[in-house]
Structure 1
């Protein structure tokens, strides 16, 4: 089964030997590569997870997490396909409702930053459809984005096919006319029949390809499927904050310090903000209200490619009171 999935999804894995991998850079070597986002084993794992999620829908649970406020989180699986049945996009999205009623989308990375703790109390399903409506809006937006991109691609392909088949048709028609003009005593009858058959074949192939393009252009949306509901309560170890609450503060601070092109990421992403100087010098920002905050080993393992540009900003009373370069604080 796993072999078949890998083959179907064109995932290059050698199943004749044991597959070795590690999640930690210090354990990686020539025989045991470090797993990353492009690793075939990760792609296979995601595919297997998706197939399992397609079968099940979990309930509603209560758990503790290092957040600054209670959050009602719902996970949805959304999918976009075309008229041929090909799945163009499939993703898990996490939506949260805050105490003030505001809804936000949080980054899937939140699951890897820290562990959910507590007894995992099973609760009755929440009948509130607020987040379900948001999931539907997100799915529609995703479908429209895929549709716009697909239409541009297919319009180019359609134009190319029209030109290609027109050239083939005109060349064949020219030969047919030449054979007809020189058809003394029906000596070119076989060639004439061959050219007529080829013209019909060109038209049929053109219609088939254009019909396929029409089906590929028909973009559909699989209704969002709720996977799980989580009532997340603070565990008293809050470290990260809701990034979008501080967007204006960080934008002003970065501008005052000669940095621009400020980008805010979804709450609980790998980092919260990005900025750069006029010379292209990059800065990745992790935001916290905790003066003693420092990412744990697992978190740091996800930052090696950008570590020398990562800064921790401490915010208090609506302003940045401290910034620290992470790579200066790591003890090797």
Structure 2
């Protein structure tokens, strides 16, 4: 028997973590092709922070609640949802609404919890794995033996990209801002991690690769990193922009892009079609889930917080010292 009302986290205006407060709402109802998940854990991601700040509104028709990834048990199915049955443990990429005791998700973007993982660990997978898979392996077409440069290596995206790049045959270099984060990146499989506060990543990239440069660069920083990425890239290199922590408006001399045949691209995940996300989900289940089942890849969890203390969890993600993912937990 499902409850009539549930606890959710609402953003009462835009601003700092303090705008996130518990509230009560009716249980959501799954629509066609959707499943209703009793949430046991929900991952926190940078797009949640941007939505909290008021600069990344949800797409039309999506929940106004924060939360783009959850893990828990299927408790109901909408028309046409046939893969999972009630009680199945799943993790899902949602269109919003994850900061709640129950959440609806497209069945096509819902995956079984990989063997050997807890629900807390599973909740840290969808948003980051979908983002990394699509941008690094689909858009940038990273190949075994190539050099991958990951900015923000100690973030949830960064720790995922380092592990997957390494496991799928690339040579990974990462940037990070402290000695502790540098060690963490190298323990995850980076050939070399660069403390960007003390070293120039362009020069180190050239030294480590014997002048070759990065075949693929995953950049969430933006700002002056974009011009430096052009200098760090290899001939025919691909630069993928997924965020702009230091700003998106820059002045560039694109002659280097033309002369070195570089590709500068980027994407957001949330606004992509259900069909695109379903395609990504199939590829991830085929290529990434076996690595988890074999114990080769595991999400890095920085910390967990109760759902009702979402404000503290957001204070933690705002803290630049965190390493890996922050997860909300529901008992």
TM class by shorter chain equals under 0.3
| Larger RCO: 1 or 2 (CA < 8 Å, sep 6+) | 1
Q: From the two aligned structures, give the one with the greater helix fraction.
A: 1
Question: Normalising to structure 1: TM-score of the pair?
Answer: 0.24
Mark the structure with the bigger radius of gyration: 1
Q: TM-score, normalised by structure 2?
A: 0.24
